[in-house]
């Protein structure tokens, strides 16, 4: 007997705080005006996507002591955008990245509970940590935490926030005008938390929201990050773009759930993905090449090479050969605040590997950065892309994808009009939303139901 077809989950990532966006393209719009966010969100909702996702940077990146201006660097406050989008959408989930290193549980819980109320149960929180002192300089505490302490704080941060969410049961508000009684229980919202990172007590002032708690996302790929997701998250982002790598990640994370009394379907695995569409596969491949040339200008190529070399390479010709000098292994990082710096743990080995690739393929600096950098995950005709997405999901390499177009705000339009109908025809993607909340879209139980299920078992 054949396995039933899995339903595909799709979401939209508003590009920004990265270099996949081609902001210099004539079709590109603003990354700060609300009209861009509104168009993007409405298109995602028209496509029946689960949610819209916003990443967030807490400091503008620098390179050589100057603001890095070759890609999009920063945007307005996440909660402000999501609250505004709640007013112009009806079903789309609203997911925000909020840092657990430089915020406080009471403030963040209050903001997410408020967003969940304002949106009718569509709020989600991507819980992240911060790894560098550079970002910490923007905050009173400054500095940063070692990796093990970052996850320890993140875990306690989430535990504390959940205690605040759960301090209201949902039936406390009586609002009896005849008797003048508003609350059934004067202790509603009372909480006490004492731990390694937080020691707080009081009354949480936002009543129980429609989802009880926001949907929790996690994006770390370390062993600690995977374990955190297995214990506490509803969905995890994956960075693995190939089928084999995706299947290995999927299997590893899903098997960790049992240790926390959780089923496989209680954690969704959603890789980030880019795409380039064409009328034919050949046309799409040609367009994808053009997009990569737009994403990696000569100046951008040199800046990316500096991530490894840790030197000022502005005097080099981006259309010429790689530097013959070795990377600077000093502690000072020329590209402050760039996550890519952490990817190259052995700069000398990376430089050797890249020189060999460039020599073998006769690549210039720009060619090398284009070929070794992030590529579009899905390239082809609508039929090809629909088939590839479905193949990945049915093969347990993912439960769906978070799509990041290279043009905003109109980059989702063609995908919505040409790919989504094909997935719907195959019976693997919804034609209508299943319910009003994001938990309904993702097939996740309400926290109260999960609690009752565990109590009964």
By percentage, how much of the chain surpasses pLDDT 70? Answer: 93
Task: Yes or no: say if 278 and 285 are a contact pair by the CB < 8 Å rule.
Answer: yes
Write the pLDDT tens digit of every residue in 202-255. Answer: 999 999 999 999 999 998 788 888 998 999 999 999 888 789 999 999 999 999
pLDDT for 409-428, tens place per residue? 999 999 999 999 999 999 99
**C-alpha separations of 123 from 245, 385, 400 in Å:** 30, 29, 19
CA within 13 Å, CB half, 417? 8
- DSSP, collapsed to helix, strand or coil, labels residue 140 as coil
pLDDT value at residue 239: 83
Helix (H, G, I), strand (E, B) or coil at 449: helix
Highest-pLDDT range among 35-49, 149-163, 342-356:
35-49
Contact 72, 117 (CB under 8 A): no
Residue 443 — φ and ψ, nearest 5°?
Answer: 70, 35
Which pLDDT belongs to residue 374? Answer: 67
Residue-wise DSSP of 78-136: HHHHHHHHHTT-SS-EEEEEEESSSS-HHHHHHHHHHHHHHHTS-EEEEEE----HHHH
Residue 141 has pLDDT above 70, yes or no: no
Query: Which H/E stretch holds residue 237?
Result: strand 235-238
Q: Which residue has the tokens 């301090």?
A: 167
The encoded tokens of residue 289 equal 């090449």
d(CA 183, CA 163): 20
Phi, psi of 233 (to 5 degrees): -95, 155
pLDDT for 457 equals 58
Interval 251-260 mean pLDDT: 96
Q: Which of 149-153, 239-243, 373-377 has the lowest mean pLDDT?
A: 373-377
Give the separation between CA 268 and CA 250, rounded to whole angstroms.
9
Alpha-carbon Rg for the chain in angstroms: 23
Q: Read off the pLDDT of residues 290-347 as tens digits, 9 standing for 90 and up.
A: 999 999 999 999 999 998 999 999 999 999 999 999 999 876 777 776 666 666 778 9
Q: Is the pTM of this model over 0.85?
A: yes
pLDDT digits over 64-114, tens only? 888 888 877 777 899 999 999 999 999 999 999 999 988 999 999 999 999
With tokens 């966010």, the residue in question is 37
pLDDT exceeding 90 applies to what percent of the chain? Answer: 73
β-bridge pairing 93-99 and 123-128: parallel
Residue matched to tokens 């950065």:
369
Question: Given this model, what pLDDT does residue 338 score?
Answer: 67
Predicted confidence at residue 352, as pLDDT, reads: 95
For residues 41 and 89, the answer to whether their CB atoms sit within 8 Å is: yes
Nearest to 292 by CA among 408, 406, 413: 406
C-beta atoms surrounding 267 within 10 Å: 24
- What average pLDDT does the segment 431-452 reach? 90
Burial 378-402 (b: 16+ CB within 10 A, else e): bbbbbebbbbbbbebbeebbbbbbb
Output the DSSP codes for 319-337.
Answer: TSPPPSSPPP--S--SSTT
Q: Which helix (H) or strand (E) holds 359?
A: helix 347-361
The answer on pLDDT for 454 being more than 60 is: no
d(CA 11, CA 417): 15
Cβ distance 48 to 433 under 8 Å?
Answer: yes
Identify the band that residue 349 occupies on the pLDDT scale cut at 50, 70 and 90.
very high
For residue 339, is it left (φ>0), alpha (ψ between -120 and 50) or beta? Answer: alpha
**pLDDT the model gives residue 332:** 74
Backbone angles phi, psi at 369, to 5 degrees: -65, -40
Q: How many helices and strands, by DSSP H and E, does the chain display?
A: 16, 16
Contact 363, 357 (CB under 8 A): yes
User: Per-residue pLDDT averaged across 277-297, rounded?
Assistant: 95
pLDDT over threshold 70, residue 451:
no
Q: Mean pLDDT over all residues of the chain?
A: 91
How far is it, in rounded angstroms, from Cα 37 to Cα 82? Answer: 9
Which residue is associated with the tokens 């060619």?
A: 367
CA separation for the pair 419, 172 (Å, rounded):
46
Give the confidence band of 132 by pLDDT, cuts at 50, 70, 90: confident
């Amino acid at each position: 007997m054949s396995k039933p077809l899995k339903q595909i989950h799709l979401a939209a990532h508003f590009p920004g705080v990265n270099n996949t966006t081609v902001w210099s393209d004539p079709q590109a719009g603003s990354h700060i005006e609300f009209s861009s966010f509104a168009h993007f969100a409405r298109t995602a909702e028209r496509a029946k996507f689960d949610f819209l996702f916003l990443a967030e940077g807490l400091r503008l990146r620098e390179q050589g002591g100057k603001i890095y201006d070759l890609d999009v660097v920063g945007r307005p406050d996440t909660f402000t955008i999501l609250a505004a989008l709640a007013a112009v959408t009806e079903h789309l989930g609203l997911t925000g990245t909020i840092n657990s290193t430089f915020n406080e549980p009471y403030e963040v819980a209050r903001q997410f509970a408020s967003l969940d109320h304002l949106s009718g149960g569509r709020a989600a929180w991507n819980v992240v940590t911060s790894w560098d002192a550079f970002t910490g300089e923007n905050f009173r505490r400054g500095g940063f935490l070692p990796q093990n302490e970052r996850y320890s704080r993140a875990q306690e941060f989430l535990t504390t926030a959940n205690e605040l969410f759960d301090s209201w049961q949902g039936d406390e508000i009586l609002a009896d005008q005849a008797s003048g009684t508003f609350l059934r229980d004067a202790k509603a919202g009372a909480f006490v938390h004492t731990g390694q990172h937080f020691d707080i007590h009081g009354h949480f002032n936002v009543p129980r929201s429609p989802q009880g708690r926001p949907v929790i996302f996690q994006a770390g790929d370390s062993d600690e990050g995977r374990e955190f997701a297995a214990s506490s998250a509803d969905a995890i982002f994956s960075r693995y773009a190939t089928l084999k790598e995706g299947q290995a990640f999927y299997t590893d994370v899903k098997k960790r759930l049992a240790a926390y009394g959780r089923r496989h379907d209680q954690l969704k695995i959603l890789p980030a993905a880019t795409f380039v569409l064409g009328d034919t596969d050949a046309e799409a491949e040609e367009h994808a090449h053009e997009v990569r040339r737009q994403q990696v200008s000569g100046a951008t190529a040199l800046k990316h090479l500096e991530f490894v070399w840790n030197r000022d390479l502005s005097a080099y010709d981006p259309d010429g050969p790689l530097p013959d000098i070795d990377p600077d292994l000093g502690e000072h990082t020329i590209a402050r605040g760039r996550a890519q710096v952490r990817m190259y743990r052995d700069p000398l080995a990376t430089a050797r590997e890249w020189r060999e690739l460039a020599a073998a393929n006769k690549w210039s600096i720009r060619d090398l950065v284009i070929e070794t950098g992030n590529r579009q995950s899905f390239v082809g005709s609508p039929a090809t892309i629909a088939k590839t997405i479905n193949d990945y999901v049915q093969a347990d390499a993912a439960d769906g994808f978070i799509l990041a177009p290279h043009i905003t705000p109109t980059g989702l339009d063609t995908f919505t009009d040409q790919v989504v109908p094909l997935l719907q025809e195959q019976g693997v993607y919804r034609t209508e939303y299943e319910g009003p909340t994001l938990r309904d879209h993702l097939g996740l139980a309400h926290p109260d139901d999960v609690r009752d299920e565990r109590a009964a078992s």
